[in-house]
Amino acid sequence: MPQYQTWEEFSRAAEKLYLADPMKARVVLKYRHSDGSLCIKVTDDLVCLVYRTDQAQDVKKIEKFHSQLMRLMVAKEARSVAMETD
């Protein structure tokens, strides 16, 4: 399970993993209050990408990335449903 040290590397790899097979990709966010760390994990059951941080500035980056993935997921669903109804 590769754990990335830089946000840029992780976000590129995670987006690539999601776009390769959107139906299998999962995203998990985990916050541990005891040590103040936030972990984001993206997996497709074959590859698991992890990024951990305890920096407050990274939280905004993670939030933006997570919302971008959610928009991609909704857009894909909307297109496939629209294609099925035609």
Structure confidence by residue, pLDDT tens digits, 12-63: 999 999 989 888 999 999 999 999 899 999 999 999 999 999 998 888 999 8
Quick one: pLDDT band at residue 72, thresholds 50, 70, 90? confident
Handedness of CA 77, 14, 61, 33 (dihedral sign): positive
Answer yes or no: is pLDDT of 86 > 60.
no
Report the alpha-carbon distance of residue 76 to residue 35 in Å, rounded.
37
Higher-confidence position of 72 and 8: 8
Residue written as token pair 């976000």: 11
Please state the φ and ψ torsions of residue 26, each to the nearest 5 degrees. -130, 145
pLDDT, residue 42, reads 94
- Judged by DSSP in three states, 3 sits in strand
- Give the predicted TM-score (pTM) of the model: 0.77
